[in-house]
Amino acid sequence: MNLFLIRKIFCFCLIALFFGATGAWARGIMLSPLRVNFENRDRYAKVTVINQDREKPVRFNISTVTLRMDDQGRMFEPQEPSASETVARRMLRFSPSTAIIPPGGKQVLRLMLKKPSNLPEGEYLTYLSAQPEDVVKEESVEKDSGGRVSLDLDIMVGVRIPVVIRHGELDVSVRASGLGFHRMKSGQLAADVVLEREGSRSCVLGIKLEQELPSGDVIKLGEKGRAVIYTPLKKRLVQVPLERADTLSKGGRLRIVLTDEEHDGAEVGRREFDIKK
């Protein structure tokens, strides 16, 4: 049997690095908030699973998974979790572990943190996963005039959000240590900003690129909101698409401004580079 057309496929969706909205979503399912933070004294939190499908109920299983960030900002499942990653999963409790959500309905997940008495200071990271119980449902099979088969598939998806657990007096500092440029597939120019993190916790940064012309005028070139560097990663490359690049040939200086998106956007660093004509 030759499959001619798969008209509707929704594949597994990992929502971990995109922080521009208030909820993680896939195939009509939303998780809100997008990220859960447990600071020192926090023990309880809530996550809402929303079924945006107005016609069908959905069943999800809730679990925790271990993910780690590489130096390009991509998330992957390590072959062997570290000691801190294992502890993070053990500390997090949740209820319910299985959710059946009616069309247009919601399910509140209650999260509880149980820290051991001898827990070392540091930041602990795990991911909350809402995973569909039935992965693929075949809705219809049709044949065209040539006898070729068309499948209409409905593939359920799962979503994952980070749960950050902080214990003790933690600090972080970050700086822009390098800059490059490349053209994306669309032809748009992007800046490659190298960030270096030091300290005992992760950071969520806003990145703004400005050009100061020889005349003294300042032009905004581009920005990126909520770029994350998770522990234990020390260095990460972040791509910032440029809204305009036509003024780079005029020379001057390029300024990178970093802001702390966890604390009201306060500036935490800046770096300037000469632009050669």
| Predicted confidence pLDDT, tens digits, the chain (277 residues) | 443 333 333 333 443 334 333 455 445 678 999 999 999 999 999 999 988 788 888 888 899 999 999 999 999 999 999 999 999 999 999 999 998 889 889 999 999 999 999 999 999 999 999 876 753 344 444 545 555 555 444 555 678 999 999 999 999 999 999 999 999 999 999 999 999 999 999 999 999 999 999 999 999 999 999 999 999 999 999 999 999 999 999 999 999 999 999 988 999 999 999 988 6
Contacts of 21 (CB under 8 A, 6+ apart): 34
The token pair at 79 is: 């072959």
Q: What fold is seen in the domain 172-275?
A: Immunoglobulin-like (2.60.40)
> What pLDDT does 264 receive?
86
Q: Which residues pair with 273 in a beta bridge?
A: 254
> What pLDDT does 145 receive?
54
Three-state DSSP state, 111: strand
Instruction: Please state, in angstroms and rounded to a whole number, the distance separating the CA atoms of residues 49 and 189.
Output: 38
Nearest to 88 by CA among 110, 115, 108: 115
Cα torsion through 50, 51, 52, 58, rounded to 10: 160
pTM above 0.85, yes or no: no
C-alpha distances out from residue 89 to 85, 188, 189, Å: 7, 41, 40
> What pLDDT does 131 receive?
78
Average pLDDT, rounded, for the chain: 84
Instruction: Please state, in angstroms and rounded to a whole number, the distance separating the CA atoms of residues 242 and 120.
Output: 42
> What pLDDT does 139 receive?
47
**Under 8 Å between Cβ of 228 and 199:** no
Residues of the chain with CATH 2.60.40.10: 8-167, 172-275
Three-state DSSP state, 52: coil
> What pLDDT does 52 receive?
79
> What pLDDT does 155 receive?
54
pLDDT digits (tens, 9 = 90+) for 90-100: 999 999 999 88
**Under 8 Å between Cβ of 165 and 124:** yes
> What pLDDT does 21 receive?
39
pLDDT digits (tens, 9 = 90+) for 240-267: 999 999 999 999 999 999 999 998 899 9
pLDDT digits (tens, 9 = 90+) for 146-177: 555 554 445 556 789 999 999 999 999 999 99
Nearest to 199 by CA among 219, 226, 175, 170: 170
> What pLDDT does 30 receive?
80
Please state which CATH number belongs to domain 8-167.
2.60.40.10
